[in-house]
Structure 1
Amino acid sequence: MKINSVSIRAMATIDEKHKPKNKRQAFLRLLEYIAPYKKAVAIGVISNLWVGLVVLVPPLIYGKSITDRVVLNLFNESADARWRLLLISTLAQILLYGSSSFMVWVRMKTMHILGERILVDIRKQVYSRLQALSISYFDSGQTGEIMSRVTNDSEVVEEFVTHAADTLISDTIRLAAMCVVMFYVSKTLAIISLLPVPIIFVLALTFSRKVRPIYRKVRERLAEINAKVQENLSGMRVIKAFAREDFEQTNFENETEAFYDMRVRAIRLWTRFFPSIDFQVRTASVVVWSVGAAMILHKVPGVTMGTLIIFTMYLGMFYEPVRSLATINDTIQRSLAAAERIFEVVDEQPQIQDADDAVDLPRIHGRVELDRFNFSYGGEEEVLTDF
């Protein structure tokens, strides 16, 4: 076999062109990992939705049945009828909460097992791609950094499946159902309750835009720390032989401090975002209480003490999924940042690829002759010329 005028070059392989162009593309690709498990996802969503809808019933029981009919006796019912209604209301709530606890168990078991399954699928896919890549990929990348994509980044993506995907769906449906009930009970109080929601979602979008690049840098810094530890442990004999302990210690501390700085930037954004949501929620609750009390004092038709109790209980539950969606947004942003790094590996193509009609080379005999053979690393200065 004769090789004429050949140059072999190791090329950098982590290419920015393979990054998902936007977070929507990365989000849709994450959903592809969930698609094969539609049954498990459906169980998770239905169980979570059941838990969310069950909590809508007790406020109606407390407000209309217990407060207005049993305690205040606004309908002038007999004592026996009121005792009977109290017993039925109590048993109904116990049954509802019992079914809710059962569905919580179903959801936790199903979604956590699904998350672990998808974590395995991601790691298998990434490792399979690494096996197919050219040697130049590993020449240009740090081993610890590559390991971080297989282990740490995939675990962050698993959080998206376990905590974010089904909650995102069920909380959205629960908010819609709660809005319907609140408008049915009192349109005025419902409108007041909804006033902070647009502001909260604008804040959430702003938070997403600012925090996602930071989370990506956090993942990169963590990968650099892993790479540093892996390389130093592998080369500890050389480090000690040349008395480089202090130098490597300084380098490691610098990497760790850089990781800390990125984490602090994310924390500062996070701590500005969530207290502002909490303030708006509490302010809306105070306004609803005040307006509701004023409506009772002015004997507005259809507004009773039971109505105010219903809204008081609903407000806490209404803003819980709003807060939850904001928290999930934080999880999603971290998952998308990690997913981008995973997809860079999955999308990477081997530098040398077989032709479509390639055939397996049988066992050969003879010798290899090199004629005017050139060799270089990464296209830089040639170490062999015209060999």
Structure 2
Amino acid sequence: MATQSETEDSPSRKLGELAMIWRYASAYPGRIAAAALALVIAAGATLAIPWGFRLVIDKGFIASRGDVGPYFQLLFVIVVVLALATATRFYFVSWLGERVIADIRIAVQANLLRLAPRFFEENRPSEIASRLTADTAIIEQVVGTTVSVALRNIVLAIGGIIFLFAIAPKLAAMLLLAIPLAMLPVIVMGRSLRNLSRSTQDRIADIGATVSETLRAMKIVQGFGQEDRESARFGDVVRQGFQTAKRRIRTRAVMTAIIIALIFGSITMVMWQGAIDVASGKLSGGSIAAFILTGGLVAGAFGALAEVYGDIVRAAGAAARLTELLNAEPEIKAPAHPVALPHPSRGRLEFDHVRFRYPTRPEMMTLDNVSFTVEPGEMV
């Protein structure tokens, strides 16, 4: 498998690695369609709640002189639709997450069984096992939760912006101008966060490999009194992992703080202008209430996108590492045109100038130009 230095600037570090996950998820189009439909309905019901409150204020309190019953009944129906759609989305998305991870694990294991022993001498089996556990767990979280949250918030953001323009075009335009500014930290800090996420996964694999090596050789460790040395070595690996994770957390925290400050700061300024318009009679009370609620939903959607971006980046790193295992080609392949053994078999064995060396000791020739023949019935 590629080392960190080899993949520092390689395409495997980019979000395009998530295409591997999609290849497995696309095998279940019916489930994806059901989850997408439920997601759209849930997002639409969420956006309908501010519209319902607008009716309560403008039609119920003002036009109907306090007869708000029908409008609250409408709100209740919207809430029921939202609950059912959300539950449906959760079921299908969670099912997809579990199914995709199961398929990826089976595919990786099947490919590992095809590889030559040299691969397992050059790559620690404990590290490979970590790929099948830690990395797949990250992908499971992203497929089963993060992607759904991201898509839901994208739909909420787009639908919310359209609704904002329908309510108050001037205020919506002011709010829309702040969105590119809020997304700037994601673009600027995203690459650094992606690199740190991949490094974090490397350190997790190192921890698992170190534990596995020590436990497998426990008799040797205790026999030679190396407990303190192994404890110190493991502590160093854990501390390196913590330092890497701390840098990733710090970067993500700074990015989140900047985005939230920009988004909600912009909303505050827009609401200030909206209050002026209400005072001058340009906007109704129901319209400004709906605008505030929808603006909060849009701001929350963009804030959530900033949060889930870090998880998606981690999944891209995990997918890259699993892709390396899936794409590993066996050195010993079945011949394209195999020749059948004679029948009945003669039982004759021949070595003809055989040379062999272990991959981990290339400087030492184990077999050098060995030739011999074992005839049927002969014992050697």
TM-score, structure 1 as length reference: 0.88
In the other structure, the counterpart of 2:288 is 308
Assess if the C-alpha contact under 8 Å between 2:12 and 2:320 holds in 1: no
Shift of residue 370, structure 1, vs aligned partner: 6.1
In structure 2, distance between residues paired with 1:366 and 1:373: 20
Matching residue's letter, 1:337: G
Q: 1:364 to 1:129 in 2, by over 3 A?
A: farther
Structure with greater contact order relative to length (CA < 8 Å, sep ≥ 6): 1
In the other structure, the counterpart of 2:60 is 70
In the other structure, the counterpart of 2:331 is 351
In the other structure, the counterpart of 1:294 is 276
In structure 2, distance between residues paired with 1:360 and 1:157: 44
Q: 1:48 to 1:141 in 2, by over 3 A?
A: same
Q: 1:304 to 1:348 in 2, by over 3 A?
A: same
Assess if the C-alpha contact under 8 Å between 1:47 and 1:104 holds in 2: yes
Matching residue's letter, 1:123: R
Q: 1:278 to 1:374 in 2, by over 3 A?
A: closer
The reply on whether 1:33 has 2:21 as its aligned counterpart is no
In the other structure, the counterpart of 2:47 is 56
Q: Which moved more, 1:320-329 or 1:262-271?
A: 320-329
Assess if the C-alpha contact under 8 Å between 1:132 and 1:350 holds in 2: yes
In the other structure, the counterpart of 1:178 is 160
**Deviation by residue 1:111-163 (Cα, 9 ceiling, x = unmatched):** 11211111100100100010000100001111210101111111111122112
Matching residue's letter, 1:297: A
In the other structure, the counterpart of 2:297 is 317
SS in 2 for 1:382: coil
SS in 1 for 2:333: coil
Select the residue among 326, 329, 340 that pairs with 2:320: 340
Instruction: Please give the root-mean-square deviation of Cα atoms over the aligned residues, in Å.
Output: 2.1
Q: 1:367 to 1:196 in 2, by over 3 A?
A: same
In structure 1, distance between residues paired with 2:325 and 2:346: 35
Q: 1:306 to 1:379 in 2, by over 3 A?
A: same
Select the residue among 211, 224, 237 that pairs with 1:255: 237
Matching residue's letter, 1:145: E
The reply on whether 1:235 has 2:228 as its aligned counterpart is no
In the other structure, the counterpart of 2:246 is 264
Matching residue's letter, 1:319: A
Assess if the C-alpha contact under 8 Å between 2:182 and 2:263 holds in 1: no
Q: 1:34 to 1:285 in 2, by over 3 A?
A: same
In the other structure, the counterpart of 1:155 is 137
In structure 2, distance between residues paired with 1:21 and 1:168: 22
In structure 1, distance between residues paired with 2:224 and 2:263: 61
Assess if the C-alpha contact under 8 Å between 2:121 and 2:359 holds in 1: no
Matching residue's letter, 2:231: Q
**Runs (5+) with no aligned partner, structure 1:** 1-12
Select the residue among 88, 91, 97 that pairs with 1:109: 91
Aligned length, in residue pairs: 363
In structure 2, distance between residues paired with 1:289 and 1:372: 82
In structure 2, distance between residues paired with 1:48 and 1:183: 23
In the other structure, the counterpart of 1:127 is 109
Select the residue among 122, 147, 157 that pairs with 1:165: 147
In the other structure, the counterpart of 2:177 is 195
**Deviation by residue 1:253-280 (Cα, 9 ceiling, x = unmatched):** 1110111011001000011011112212
Q: 1:242 to 1:177 in 2, by over 3 A?
A: same
In structure 1, distance between residues paired with 2:22 and 2:248: 25
Assess if the C-alpha contact under 8 Å between 2:53 and 2:286 holds in 1: yes
**Deviation by residue 1:278-302 (Cα, 9 ceiling, x = unmatched):** 21222122212211111122333xx
Q: 1:217 to 1:160 in 2, by over 3 A?
A: same
Assess if the C-alpha contact under 8 Å between 1:374 and 1:382 holds in 2: no
Shift of residue 364, structure 1, vs aligned partner: 5.2
Q: 1:141 to 1:183 in 2, by over 3 A?
A: same
**Runs (5+) with no aligned partner, structure 2:** 371-380
Assess if the C-alpha contact under 8 Å between 1:62 and 1:306 holds in 2: yes
In structure 2, distance between residues paired with 1:113 and 1:282: 35
In structure 1, distance between residues paired with 2:326 and 2:340: 26
The reply on whether 1:205 has 2:187 as its aligned counterpart is yes
SS in 2 for 1:195: helix
Q: Which moved more, 1:43-52 or 1:165-174?
A: 165-174
In structure 1, distance between residues paired with 2:134 and 2:141: 11
Q: 1:289 to 1:87 in 2, by over 3 A?
A: same
In structure 2, distance between residues paired with 1:313 and 1:190: 13
